[in-house]
Amino acid sequence: MCGIVGAISEKNKDSFMLASLLVIGLQSIQGRGQESAGISVSNGKRIKTYKKQGLVSEIFRQETITPLTGNIAVGQNRYSTTGGSVIENAQPVEKRGKYHVSVVHNGNIDSSKLRQEMISRRIKLSGDSDTELIASLIAHSNEKTIEQAVAETCNRICGSFSLLVLTAKKLIAVRDPKGIRPLFYGRAKTNEETIFMLASETCALDQMGAKNIKEVGAGTMLVFSSGKIISSKYLHGGSKVSFCVFEKIYLSRPDSILNGTPNEMFRHKLGKILFEENQILKKKLDIIVPIPDSGIASAIGFHSASGVSYGRGIIKTPQAKRLFIDPSSSVRISGVRLKLNVLKKLINGKRVGLVDDSIVRGSTSKEIVKMVREAGAKEIRIIVASPPVKHPCYYGIDMAKEEELIASKLDLPALEKYLGVEGVHYLSLDGLHRASGNTGFCSACFDNKYPVVFDCQRI
């Protein structure tokens, strides 16, 4: 789920502008990862990295940005799946071998065999993240060029990956053959120079000032040098794209564009289809209330299709962290009341339909229901803009254990009893396919159909 950004200027000069530009990009996609952030820069001769645990606004101030001078830069917001939430696993990861590289990564790979290989080659790994492993494989490759070293590494790793690889004079972008995790690039031109920019989401490129935004194709490696794309090639692995549909449902910002459609419009459509599949709710609800922020667009879609009154009955505290991605379950539960507050006068005495993007572990939903019940709701139904999440994600979302997924443990009546509601109403898998236009995407967390099979799934 991590957010990555990068930029390369046409002119080979020292400037802190690119680091400042990346801070803007990282802040715009802070929701993708809130554990640590970092930036690496190159001035054509040396690479300098600064990273720390915490939020972008806490880490990057004028005194920390100013020393990061150079015309090539990469940055990352970290959200841990493989590898603990410690500074050793923060990114970018800088490695020296035959090649000197700094790498940022969004995704998750099947790493056990490759990690054993590093041990047998006596190559030291200071942490346990996939990114350090990938950086080490590239740095210690025996291939003749850095482009060949990156391609060789990416053809060996199995899983999901969007990578940015920084060298002294080049910036290399790679996306896995299935296109599971997103990656985009654009260009900004001034009177003095051309700057290419890359990011996990189009909203980051918008806010960084990029134009002509395009998607890095699945299985594609782009090499940038001196502010130009100097080569493009395809990796092995087939052509069937399996883009993560959970990006469109929840992970990416509503103003980002994925598969050619703004997420806001896609989520509206999910809400409309939800009503088509649950028209009986029109007679059972007095008000539709979104769980902010990820439930807002689908709630508006449900409201517009059903005619049921819509109200912002739950208000989100400004600058609150995303609870789903907090690595501590205890923080996820105790933080709900800090993050959200219920408008009692809007809720009291009414039959409430709470609209959310998904139910994963169920702990946050249970706490929200309790708050709405305390506000005087007569009845509560949860309306979910996705199918039940029943299966682990191996590709970079923190849903790796089936026993943590509430829908895999409880049937619908038991789930309703656990949450304390009069009903739970999911979007069907067919409805999700219709909303997405039946284009190729990964929905393994809903249907158990994995586009890439890890060794750990065979055990």
Q: Is-contact 224 196, C-beta < 8 A?
A: yes
Dihedral-angle region of residue 260 (phi above 0 means left; psi in -120 to 50 means alpha; beta otherwise): left
Q: How many CA atoms lie within 13 A of 36 on its CB side?
A: 20
Q: What is the DSSP letter of 310?
A: B
Active site residue 393: no
DSSP strand pairing (100-109 vs 159-166): antiparallel
Cβ count near 243 (within 10 Å) = 22
**N-term to C-term CA, the chain:** 25
Rounded to whole angstroms, how far apart are CA atoms 203 and 253? Answer: 7
Closest among 271, 219, 198 to 29, alpha carbons compared:
198
Report the candidate in 230, 91, 108, 96 with the shortest Cα–Cα distance to residue 171: 230
Could you tell me how many helices (H) and strands (E) the chain has, helices first? 18, 23
Distance CA 3, CA 34 (A): 10
Which one, of 292, 291, 294, lies nearest residue 250 by Cα? 294
Return the closest-CA partner of residue 197 out of 77, 78, 71.
Answer: 71
What are the CA-CA distances from residue 71 to residues 20, 67, 365, 423 (Å)? 12, 13, 46, 56
Question: Which helix H or strand E contains 332, and what residues bound it?
Answer: helix 329-334
| CA pair distance 352, 51, nearest whole angstrom | 45
Query: How do 351-356 and 287-290 pair as beta strands?
Result: parallel
Tokens linked to 186: 């654009």
Active-site hit among 2, 393, 442, 445: 2
343 CB neighbour count, 10 Å cutoff: 14
> Do residues 146 and 210 make contact, with C-beta atoms less than 8 angstroms apart?
no
Residue 37 forms beta bridges with which residues? 52, 77
Positions marked catalytic? 2
